[in-house]
Each structure stands twice: as C-alpha cells, then as structure tokens.
Amino acid sequence: MSSAHGIDRRAALGVLGAAGVVAMSATAFARQAAAAVPAPGNAPADARPGWDEATGQYVLPALPYAPEALEPHIDAETMRLHHGKHHQAYVNGLNKAVGELRKIAETGDAALVKHWSRELAFHGGGHVNHTIFWAVMAPPDKGGGGAPQPGTELAAQIDRDFGSFSRFSALFQASAVAVEASGWAWLVWDHVSRRLMVQQMERQQDLLMTYASPIMGADVWEHAYYLRYQNRRADYVKAFMNVINWPVVDRIFATVRGAR
C-alpha cells in the first residue's frame, strides 16, 4: 500500500478538482474537497478502498474471509456475486469516471462535467461503501455480532448518543429497513457536533451529510439479500447484526474521530 498517502491524495484531489472546474477556482475547490472528503490515503487502514499505485487504477479488494464464512446469515452465492460482480462493476465505473474527469481537466472542455461527476459519485460511492461493508463484517465465531466491547470509546459513545446499545440497534435496523428502494443505513461520526448518528443513504451516494464519516453500514440493495431473504429485508438486517465486526468498527471510529 505504500507511501500512498501523498499519491492517493494527489489523485483524489485531481479528480475532485476536475469535477469542480465549473463551480470555483481549483484552489478553493481543492481546499474544500480536502476538508470534506477523506482521500483514500486518509481512510482507516481497515477500510481503505482498493487502489493500485502501479497502474493508477482503483482495484477490487480481496474479501477478508471466504464467501461462505458468513453463513447462515449471508449466503455464499450472494457474497460471490456481490463482491465479484457488483463491487467489481463499481470499481470499473469509478476508473472510467476518473479517466473522463482527467480528460476534462486536461482539455478544459467541461460540457460533460455534470455527467461524469455523477458517475464518479455513484461508482466511487459504490467502491467505498462496499469496502467498508466487507471490512465491518466477520463470522460470528471470529468476532462477528454482539456489541462493542464494554469500556471501549465506541461503546461509551454509543451509550452517550443513543442511550444504550439496544436503542442504537433498534434505530439502525429500522433505518435500514425503511430505506426507499436501493441504499444503505450508516452509523456515522459527525465531525461538527462530534456525535454518532444513524443515517440513511439512497443509492450509493445520496443523503449522506457532508462532514460525516461512515464507520459501519448495511447494504440494503436487493442484490445484498434477495437470493436468501427475497422481500424480507427486515430478516436480512437482523441477520446482518449477527456478523458486525465491532472490534474493526471501533478501530475505524478511532481513526475517523482523530482524523479531523
């Protein structure tokens, strides 16, 4: 992974700078983008989006466990398709959008900047979201499920901001079940109020508050559960709670909270 810090950051800012070319000066945009959007090099080590420095392309990260490891909560076939096909498609779409936005930055022809900015947000969201999703799950016999370890910062913060873990859990599940069509439920850290919040996301990118960093989330697109659960999203979300890797979420929380 590298030295990557500077390079990832430069790459990310290059892309964001291209997207912002219409709206404001490159410097002003870069400053705002740097503050609002974590560059891959700044992402928590547990959930750093796959990036190949040699080719300058985003890449699909390996799953941190076998596809069947989350059975019976999440079935192996869903995991194979979800990781190998869906996530791969977002990686491909992200690389395409990055390439097109670089061309726009080079030529100055911003006619399609809106289209490629939207593609970037959608596919980039897909890449980052799924990276976090795989990272925050584990088989129940390898740390999945339960609640954050008592005494951790995360456990204390959840109690402070939601009253108790069971209240958080109920809110998170209700939020995931109630997402309209395709989207996500996230546990996020709001850097301004310095609180944990539960938020919905629609598609791969809509609704997430700027200055909030996701630390754990459930994919509630039908592709995430339909093979096993069909229309029973609530059953899938309940099962997801049994595979949340709280030690990893705690580490992501620590990184994110200290980042700004």
240 binds Mn ion (CB under 5 A): no
Whether the link from the prior residue into 44 is cis, omega within 30° of 0, is no
**Contact range with Mn ion by CB under 5 A, out of 140-148, 161-169, 192-200, 211-219:** 211-219
251, amino acid identity? R
240, amino acid identity? F
Question: Residue 126 belongs to what H/E stretch?
Answer: helix 113-135
What's the closest the beta carbon of residue 82 comes to Mn ion, in angstroms?
6
Complex with Mn ion: residue 50 or 99, whichever CB lies closer: 50
What's the closest the beta carbon of residue 11 comes to Mn ion, in angstroms?
24
| 221, 225, 236, 253: which one binds Mn ion (CB under 5 A) | 221
Tell me the three state secondary structure of residue 257: helix
58 binds Mn ion (CB under 5 A): no
Residue 108 tokens read as 């100055």
Cα 168 to its chain centre, rounded Å, is 19
Complex with Mn ion: residue 12 or 224, whichever CB lies closer: 224
DSSP symbol at 112: T
Complex with Mn ion: residue 8 or 219, whichever CB lies closer: 219
Complex with Mn ion: residue 168 or 221, whichever CB lies closer: 221
**Contact range with Mn ion by CB under 5 A, out of 8-16, 29-37, 88-96, 212-220:** 212-220
Complex with Mn ion: residue 10 or 80, whichever CB lies closer: 80
46 binds Mn ion (CB under 5 A): no
What's the closest the beta carbon of residue 217 comes to Mn ion, in angstroms?
10
Listed residue (177, 175, 178) closest to 187, CA to CA: 175
Residue 148 tokens read as 């954050």
- The CA R_g of the chain, rounded to the nearest whole Å, is 18
219 binds Mn ion (CB under 5 A): yes
What is the Cα–Cα distance from 199 to 208, expressed in whole angstroms? Answer: 7
Binding residues vs Mn ion (CB under 5 A): 219, 221
